[in-house]
Homo-oligomer: A and B are copies of this chain.
Amino acid sequence: MNYQQRIKGLQKKIRRKKIGSLLISKPENRRYLCGYQGGDHGINETSGLLLVPARGKVYLLTDFRFKLQAERQVPWAETIIYPKGALKLLGQLLPDLAITSLGFESDYTLHSFAKKMKETLSKKGIKSVATDGLVEKMREIKDEEEIDLIRSAVHLNEEVFAEIHTTLSGFSSEIDVALAIETTMRRKGAERPSFDTIVASGANGALPHAVPGNSPLAKGGSLTIDMGLILDGYCSDMTRNLVFGKASKRYKKLHRLVRRAQLAGAAVIRAGVRACDADKAARGIIADAGYGEYFGHSLGHGVGLAVHEEPRLSSRSNKKLKAGMIVTVEPGIYIPGWGGIRLENMYVVREDGCENLNRDITWLDI
């Protein structure tokens, strides 16, 4: 990755905003800009902040525990340790660098931290300025190197699914299946699952975000599996449905309906189309068949260094799709007491259409 080119691009934006520097706290933005892989333990325990001045070299601020990792992974930045917290360090460093304003990421900075930062910095005559989506905007469009990495993450995800699929009859519960999936992912080189694997059998399928439980997997019962992994920092996300034995007529009918909705959504996607138009196309198919009330979520979302990112394929989004965006298309039907079906693939937006990153083996066991 050409991190230093990304930094230069961001520095241009920083100068255009007329701020002296920007503090990067969101882990995906940090990784995008410098490749640092330190793991945060939630928003309250960062493994490092990237300070990007409007010009010149950048600084990776971290604590004792991550010093060696930071220096190894980002040798071209200056790693500085904060023994007494990031704010104390910023209060010294910014005046030393003659920087008089600091932008921060408003949607990944806690209210309490922003308040303390303002107090600390204003004493030194430094202004803190809320910013929004500067790096996210850059991340929306993937270059071909990123698309290749995401393609690899998608293919590994499919490989894991295929391996689990051959042994599914031996599993006794949703938890068993989820555990096997996540173990196989990591054995095959994934950093981790990109989200908690969803394995929902029978009526549990009616919960789009079902938590795997100990329910036995019944003969003739269905299974919805929503799984994703992170490989070299990039995410995949895929949903498939299975039936142990023979699917009922109703199951087959609804599965076909969801698939038709997915194809209708994907058929609309190309550069220049509004996000809501893809949602509308897929939703229309389901609504026309009389199941509109059972499809309660948006059609899809962007995927990249984060598994959920811009653009959202939502009825409320007028955002225009651009070539190089990567989105999921995942319509679903959820019927309380009966179960649910969701199908999810990932697509690259191209000038003249879209490229399906998945191989369409969507019909397993049915």
- A interface, CB within 8 angstroms of B: 37-39, 41-45, 47, 64-66, 68-69, 83, 104, 106-115, 130, 132, 175, 179, 183, 186-187, 192, 195-196, 206-211, 296-297, 307-308, 336
Q: Are B107 and A110 in contact, with the CB atoms below 8 A?
A: yes
A–B Cβ pairs within 8 angstroms, 5 of them: A39-B209, A64-B208, A69-B211, A111-B114, A179-B186
In the complex, which residues of chain B have a beta carbon less than 8 angstroms from the beta carbon of A211? 37, 39, 69
Q: Given A68-B207, A69-B211, A183-B183, list of 19 further CB < 8 A pairs?
A: A39-B209, A42-B43, A44-B107, A44-B108, A44-B308, A64-B208, A65-B209, A65-B296, A65-B297, A106-B112, A106-B115, A108-B110, A110-B110, A111-B114, A175-B186, A179-B183, A179-B186, A179-B187, A192-B196
In the complex, which residues of chain B have a beta carbon less than 8 angstroms from the beta carbon of A186? 175, 179
A43 nearest in chain B by CB position: B43
Give the distance in Å from the alpha carbon of A290 to the alpha carbon of B117 in the complex.
37
Q: Are B109 and A64 in contact, with the CB atoms below 8 A?
A: no
Q: Are A39 and B196 in contact, with the CB atoms below 8 A?
A: yes
Give the distance in Å from the alpha carbon of A47 to the alpha carbon of B209 in the complex.
9
Give the distance in Å from the alpha carbon of A183 to the alpha carbon of B196 in the complex.
14
Contact of A66 among B183, B187, B196, B209 (CB under 8 A): B209
Give the distance in Å from the alpha carbon of A104 to the alpha carbon of B112 in the complex.
11
A180 nearest in chain B by CB position: B183
